């Protein structure tokens, strides 16, 4: 393998841009190929058919997204994050509840939110025991729970049908876009573990601008500044192997004019002609469904990716509503909602995203249980969101939509159902020179922006090591010193 041979990175989502930048920084010639007309994948910004600026979903950054945060800092994009510590919990029939963590070391940072939870004494005791169990476990411990659904784990600890399950449903939707009956215990508990073990885990970073301005463009500019190439409108349509090594990638021009997030992974509007780009090294940072669409079964077997090709995906939806007036007061932070058509939302005016022509507030929502709403019209979804917002936030009761947009993501992430984690592949395939990246590959993180950034670094590191060079330093969230004591306490309690 020679260092000056071309290296192709397929896909310009966070995983692909991360891998491309880490390689370019270490002198590897990089060409990033993207099928869509814009970069970013599931974190892209685009102008819709009505000329409105739209992001692909609502994205927030968590305090434990250490690889993503370091990456953003390295391209001076972290200054575009607005961090909020206090948030609002909303549910129909209950007054709004402000929530944030206490300013003490874990697990004492949980004192305030636990105190505010509407739990009966028995539920509070069961929740405290379950929290101790989660906080004291390593990630390897949680991996062993991948065969269980979260609901099965919840019932095992007798956490009941009340507020604890309500919060778990929100956590499950946030971590997996799945219900507690469908999501694996590993995925949901991994998300909860960070909340319980890190003092600032409730801090949320919001992008003060579009995803293009704050995230993808700085990464692309950094790659180009190092001599790398980023090309849009070019779709990978197949691979060329020579024995047990990668030899090239078949590509076609893509003229769909839209961001591609289809559940079947197919890129529409491909030109009929194909050409092969020779390559000794390829990082496929395609979503699992897109890789499945171009990898033959025989190639998947040769690459050791047959199990990974069994991974399913789950959809997501977001909505933006332009209101006829300013909604006051503004809910604190990034509100969390249960029992609604949406899980959380952001007032874009807080981020300077409303635009000069907006007559009032502009809210962006994450639609909950998107898989059950695939056949609903945009009008139905907007009507449900508007009605629920008026019920849970009285300040919005008189506001009326003047415009709205619904963004449908056919495949938002791999479906983290029981058993799925065992199907996730390592970044180094069994075919020499072929590496895989994406939030769906095997690592400790869930499907998330952090999972994507982590996978890009892991893939770049594996490639560099195969070139005989030092790998990329991988960041890990610091474990609080109290965790070993929690493990000892759990062992004694369980004895």
The SS3 assignment for 255 reads coil
pLDDT higher than threshold 90 for residue 155: yes
Can you give the pLDDT at residue 484?
58
Question: Using omega within 30 degrees of 0 as the cis cutoff, is the peptide bond preceding 329 cis?
Answer: yes
Element (H, E) at 170: helix 163-176
Mean pLDDT of 412-418: 96
Query: What share of the chain in percent tops pLDDT 90?
Result: 71
- CB distance 239 to 42 below 8 Å: no
CB 279 within 8 A of CB 245: no
Boundary-marking domain end, from 155, 175, 201: 201
192 and 264 within one domain: no
pLDDT at 352: 76
If asked whether residues 189 and 254 sit together in one domain, one would say no
| Residues 307 and 214 both lie in one domain | yes
Q: How far apart are CA 423 and CA 443, in angstroms?
A: 12
Q: Are residues 183 and 39 part of one domain?
A: no
What 3-state class would DSSP assign to 188?
helix
Look up the domain containing 256 and give its range.
7-44+210-311+420-466
pLDDT for residue 440 = 97
Q: Token pair of 13, please?
A: 């989502």
With beta carbons less than 8 A apart as the criterion, state whether 4 and 436 touch.
no
Number of domains in the chain: 2
Q: What is the mean pLDDT of residues 219-248?
A: 97
Confirm whether 384 is domain-assigned: no
Domain boundary among 177, 201, 225: 201
DSSP calls for 276-328: EEE-SEEEE---HHHHHHHS-HHHHHHTT-TTGGG--EEEEEEEEEEESS--S
Mean pLDDT for 193-199 is: 83
Q: What is the pLDDT of residue 365?
A: 97
CB atoms within 10 A of CB 491: 10
User: Which residue among 174, 201, 228 closes a domain?
Assistant: 201
Report pLDDT digits (tens) over 170-189: 999 999 999 999 999 999 99
Q: Is 359 within the bounds of a domain?
A: no
Q: How confident is the model at residue 199 (pLDDT cuts 50, 70, 90)?
A: confident
């Amino acid at each position: 393998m020679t260092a000056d041979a071309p290296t192709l990175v397929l896909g310009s989502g966070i995983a692909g841009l991360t891998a491309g930048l880490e390689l370019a920084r270490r002198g590897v010639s990089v060409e990033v190929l993207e099928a869509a007309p814009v970069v970013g994948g599931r974190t892209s910004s685009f102008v819709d058919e009505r000329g409105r600026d739209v992001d692909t979903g609502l994205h927030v950054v968590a305090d434990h997204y250490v690889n993503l945060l370091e990456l953003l800092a390295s391209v001076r994009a972290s200054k575009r994050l607005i961090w909020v510590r206090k948030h609002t919990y909303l549910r129909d029939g209950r007054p709004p509840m402000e929530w944030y963590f206490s300013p003490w070391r874990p697990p004492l940072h949980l004192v305030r939110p636990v105190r505010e939870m509407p739990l009966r004494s028995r539920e509070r005791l069961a929740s405290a025991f379950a929290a101790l169990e989660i906080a004291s476990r390593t990630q390897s411990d949680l991996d062993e729970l991948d065969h269980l659904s979260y609901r099965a784990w919840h019932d095992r600890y007798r956490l009941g049908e009340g507020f604890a399950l309500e919060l778990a449903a929100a956590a499950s939707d946030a971590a997996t876009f799945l219900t507690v009956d469908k999501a694996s215990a590993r995925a949901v508990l991994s998300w909860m573990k960070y909340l319980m073990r890190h003092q600032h885990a409730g801090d949320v970073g919001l992008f003060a601008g579009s995803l293009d301005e704050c995230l993808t463009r700085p990464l692309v500019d950094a790659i180009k500044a190092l001599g790398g190439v980023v090309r849009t409108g070019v779709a990978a349509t197949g691979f060329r192997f020579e024995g047990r090594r990668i030899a090239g990638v078949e590509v076609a021009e893509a003229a769909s004019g839209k961001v591609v997030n289809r559940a079947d992974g197919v890129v529409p509007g491909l030109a009929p002609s194909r050409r092969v780009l020779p390559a000794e090294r390829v990082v496929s940072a395609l979503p699992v469904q897109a890789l499945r669409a171009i990898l033959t079964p025989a190639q998947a077997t040769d690459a050791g990716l047959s199990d990974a090709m069994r991974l399913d995906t789950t959809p997501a939806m977001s909505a933006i509503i332009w209101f006829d007036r300013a909604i006051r007061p503004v809910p604190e932070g990034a509100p969390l909602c249960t029992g609604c058509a949406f899980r959380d939302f952001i007032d874009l005016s807080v981020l300077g995203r409303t635009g000069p022509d907006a007559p009032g507030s502009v809210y962006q929502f994450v639609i909950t249980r998107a898989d059950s709403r695939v056949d609903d019209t945009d009008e139905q979804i907007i009507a449900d969101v508007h009605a629920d917002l008026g019920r849970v936030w009285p300040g919005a009761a008189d506001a009326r939509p003047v415009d709205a947009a619904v963004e449908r993501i056919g495949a938002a992430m791999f479906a983290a159902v029981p058993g799925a984690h065992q199907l996730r592949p390592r970044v180094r395939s069994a075919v020499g020179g072929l590496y895989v990246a994406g939030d769906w590959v095997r690592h400790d993180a869930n499907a998330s922006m952090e999972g994507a950034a982590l996978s890009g670094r892991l893939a770049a590191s594996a490639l560099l090591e195969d070139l005989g060079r030092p790998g990329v330093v991988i960041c890990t969230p610091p474990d609080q010193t109290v965790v070993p004591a929690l493990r000892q306490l759990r062992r004694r309690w369980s004895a």
